[in-house]
Amino acid sequence: MDLLKISWVLFLVAGAVLVAAALVGPLIQANGFVSTSGPPAGVQFNTTIPYWTDTFGIPPMQPGEVMHVVAGKTGSGNITIQIIGYGEGNPMPEVFTINLDNQVPAVNAEFTVHRSAAYIFLVTSYYARYSLVVSGVWGEYSSLRVGLYWGVVLLIAGAAAYYYYTLKKRKEAMFRKALQGSIPSQVDVSPAGQVLALGVHEHRERG
């Protein structure tokens, strides 16, 4: 079994799969949702820890898509939710803000996004706890984009392995050809040939 041949085949196939997934995956838009709550159970608010900030993100959304946010709080304090989207080529972020207090302890909001961007949620709790559900249409497979680098690396490794494989096969073919050329193609084993060989041998001994 030729390990070099197996290597270049596996490298090229794996590299092609990773590159294809990295290029096509982020283009696939699907319904998704995120459900979370906080702060963590171990957090106790006091004068030393008057607030707590949690952060999470959602995959990139396309302009015109609607983000649905359902949020609620428990406790006497307030909750501030900032939704920040950084679009490619645009240094100014798109920001949505939700405030929860004793007058508005829960909201069911919709935001229309205006740029192609992944959105970060900053949830700051002031003596309160929250629950949050976010849904919308976004690129569920956008994380596959990171496979592009490794796909290219594997393709290069596969091309190098294929080059050395062909070089190895070429040298083996040249060696076999040279070896075949060094062996007489025809040997005279007839009685006349044996007598002639015997006469040459006797002549060398007399000499």
Cα 164 → chain centroid:
27
CA–CA distance, 71 with 100 (Å, rounded to integer)? 8
Domain boundary, last residue among 139, 174, 198: 139
Indicate if 92 and 166 belong to the same structural domain.
Answer: no
Q: Is the pLDDT of residue 194 over 60?
A: no
Domain hosting residue 83, numbered range? 29-139
What does the pLDDT average to over 160-179?
A: 80
Domain boundary among 105, 139, 173: 139
Residues 16, 66, single domain; the answer is: no
96 and 188, same structural domain? no
Helix (H) or strand (E) holding 145: none
Tens digit of each residue's pLDDT (9 = 90 or more) over 125-156: 999 999 999 999 998 777 677 777 788 888 88
Task: Give the CA radius of gyration of the chain.
Answer: 37
Overall average pLDDT of the 177-199 stretch: 55
The answer to whether 97 and 31 have CB atoms below 8 angstroms apart is no
Residue 73 has pLDDT above 90, yes or no: yes
Number of domains in the chain: 2
Region 61-84: mean pLDDT is 95
Q: Are 157 and 11 in contact (CB under 8 A)?
A: yes
